[in-house]
Amino acid sequence: MQNFDVVIIGGGPSGIIIGVTGKKQNPNKSFLMITEDEKGLVPCGIPYVFHDLKEVSQNAMGPKPFIGAGGEVLIDKVTEIDISSKILKTQKGNEITYGKLVFATGSTPTIPTFIKGYDLKGVGYIKKKYNYIEELKGKTDKAKNIVVIGGGFIGVEVAEQLAKYQDKTVSLVEMEEYCLYRAFSNEIAQKADEIIRNSGIKLYTNSKIDEIIGENGKVTGVKLTNGNIIKAEIVISAIGYKPNTELATKAGLEINSNGAIRCDNYLRTNKEDVFAVGDCSQTIGFVTGRTDSIMLASTATAEARILGYNLFGIKLLRNFVGTLSVFSTEIGGMAFASAGAIEQSAKYANIDFVVGKFTDVDRHPGSISDSNEMMVKLIVSPRNGAIIGGEMYGGKSIGELINVVGLAIQKEVTVYELLSFQIGTHPLLTTAPTKYVLIKAAEMAINKLI
């Protein structure tokens, strides 16, 4: 029977960050990471293995930094945990005792068992499993007709990548009026859909799958509820993820109504010395204050960093209460991003708001050769002018501009403050200082408030 001061279950981003940060802070404690897979993947990089990265190996991620910091790794599967006696058992017959236990078991794709044909050969999922994705890529490389089900970030990104091959016909099926409707208000989602269509994807919105059809156990296409059939040799389902909490449930941890491990602001579960972090753990929405299902590597690693310092007592206070979702992506060369509340989510949470928006170009003068149209929309509380959300599209710098908005939300910056906020601008890098889009959007909101 081996003993470790800290055992981490899972080798994804939060498992690695917990391990590295925790071990560096506690060099005299022994750390073990148990992971089922020898090779891991950068989760958000998975869509790009289908085209841009060329090889799955280009998207590999492993526990090397953790091992470098002095941690040990066991490739195995935990099958049983006795929380009261602090013992866990594995598939390969290991028995390990621990001082602190961290669940970083991540999430798994939702399998649409409610759709007939979900289990046909040729139906794939974006699992965060190296070998599985390598096999799926092998199949898509050969396929001529591919259907992607689900127009969330993963579905859109996978479809966009596959559509870059001239010889493939890629169809994307989304139930709602627009793709990405959870992260963007209609006008921006509509813009994204336009670009999705221009990227050569056959986009079917307002469309529901009736069944996945096949012959001899092999997929041949999908049938929509309106009767239309889209033929395909490969169907990829990307309708969402759910927290991977099978083991936690079995071990007796409390699970919330979203299926995530319940834990407090310091990632402590209802059992002493047991923590949960990342996709498998509960999140509270920063703006809404409600239990939310935010599953992002960025929020997972933010949690993991804090927990790394706090494993043996709270050394660093967690300053932001609640998890802010910040999304970004690029479709057909245009970047889209959002943070915090959007119009729909603010309405749903019954939060009063005004909108300020502004559009210009992201270089100045606009005649700079790589300039793109840029739009920023801010969601603002009319009471004190605090920024509670933002959406934007434009060139690649959107990827960082959304983090200005993210910080503004987390620090409760008001549009009044933003108006005198001093920014850096440069012709080759940003909008003009005279019409810096973020500040102009704040000004548009102010003009509705004063």
Q: What is the DSSP pairing of strand 334-340 with strand 387-394?
A: antiparallel
Least Å distance between CB 72 and its own copies? 19
CB 103 within 8 A of CB 275: yes
Least Å distance between CB 22 and its own copies? 13
Residue 305 interacting with its own copies (CB under 8 A)? yes
Q: Which is nearer to its own copies, 331 or 355 (CB)?
A: 331
Q: Given candidates 298, 345, 371, 381, which one binds its own copies under the rule CB under 8 A?
A: 298
CB neighbour list of residue 327: distance below 8 Å, 6 or more residues apart: 153, 183, 296, 337, 338, 339, 402
Residues 349-388 that bind its own copies (CB under 8 A): 364-365, 367-369
Residue 398 interacting with its own copies (CB under 8 A)? yes
Span of 88-96, 120-128, 131-139, 334-342 interacting with its own copies by CB under 8 A: 334-342
CB neighbour list of residue 446: distance below 8 Å, 6 or more residues apart: 356, 385, 415, 416, 419
Span of 30-38, 227-235, 239-247, 430-438 interacting with its own copies by CB under 8 A: 430-438
Span of 83-91, 102-110, 198-206, 412-420 interacting with its own copies by CB under 8 A: 412-420
Q: Given candidates 232, 410, 441, 445, which one binds its own copies under the rule CB under 8 A?
A: 410
d(CA 6, CA 312): 10
- Which string of x and - marks every residue 234-273 that binds its own copies (by CB under 8 A)? ----------------------------------------
Residue 28 interacting with its own copies (CB under 8 A)? no
Task: Locate 203 and state its tokens.
Answer: 């986009």
Task: Locate 443 and state its tokens.
Answer: 């000004």
Span of 164-172, 190-198, 226-234, 317-325 interacting with its own copies by CB under 8 A: 317-325
Bond prior to 13 in cis (omega within 30° of 0): no
Q: Which is nearer to its own copies, 208 or 435 (CB)?
A: 435
Q: Given candidates 75, 175, 354, 404, which one binds its own copies under the rule CB under 8 A?
A: 404
Residues 93-112 that bind its own copies (CB under 8 A): none
Residue 314 interacting with its own copies (CB under 8 A)? no
Residue 324 interacting with its own copies (CB under 8 A)? yes
Q: Which is nearer to its own copies, 204 or 393 (CB)?
A: 393
Q: What angle do CA 407, 193, 168 make, to 5 degrees?
A: 120
Span of 112-120, 122-130, 195-203, 405-413 interacting with its own copies by CB under 8 A: 405-413
What is the Cα Rg of the chain in Å?
Answer: 23
Residues 35-64 that bind its own copies (CB under 8 A): 42, 44-45, 48, 52-53, 58-61
Q: Given candidates 69, 71, 406, 445, which one binds its own copies under the rule CB under 8 A?
A: 406
Indicate the DSSP class of residue 282: -
Q: Which is nearer to its own copies, 132 or 416 (CB)?
A: 416
For residue 394, give the 3-state DSSP assignment: strand
For residue 344, give the 3-state DSSP assignment: helix
Task: Pinpoint the alpha helices (H) of 289-397.
Answer: 297-310, 343-348
Task: Locate 354 and state its tokens.
Answer: 């005004």
Residue 27 interacting with its own copies (CB under 8 A)? no
Task: Locate 280 and state its tokens.
Answer: 């498998």
Residues 2-21 that bind its own copies (CB under 8 A): 13, 16-17, 21
Select from 4, 43, 26 the least CA-distant residue to 278.
43
CB neighbour list of residue 71: distance below 8 Å, 6 or more residues apart: 19, 20, 23, 31, 32, 33, 63
Q: Given candidates 113, 216, 257, 422, which one binds its own copies under the rule CB under 8 A?
A: 422
Task: Locate 298 and state its tokens.
Answer: 């960025």
Span of 73-81, 174-182, 187-195, 403-411 interacting with its own copies by CB under 8 A: 403-411
Q: Which is nearer to its own copies, 229 or 423 (CB)?
A: 423
d(CA 306, CA 446): 36
Least Å distance between CB 443 and its own copies? 7
Q: Given candidates 34, 209, 339, 379, which one binds its own copies under the rule CB under 8 A?
A: 339
d(CA 25, CA 8): 16
Residues facing 172 on adjacent strands: 148, 203
Residue 316 interacting with its own copies (CB under 8 A)? yes
Q: Given candidates 149, 235, 297, 375, which one binds its own copies under the rule CB under 8 A?
A: 297
Q: Which is nearer to its own copies, 229 or 368 (CB)?
A: 368
For residue 420, give the 3-state DSSP assignment: helix
Span of 119-127, 221-229, 232-240, 335-343 interacting with its own copies by CB under 8 A: 335-343
CB 61 within 8 A of CB 42: yes
DSSP string of 190-244?
HHHHHHHHHTT-EEE-S--EEEEEEETTEEEEEEETTS-EEE-SEEEE-S-EEE-
How many amino acids of this chain bind its own copies (CB under 8 A)? 88
Task: Report CA-CA distances (Å) from 357 to 94, 190, 193, 377.
Answer: 58, 16, 20, 4
Least Å distance between CB 23 and its own copies? 13
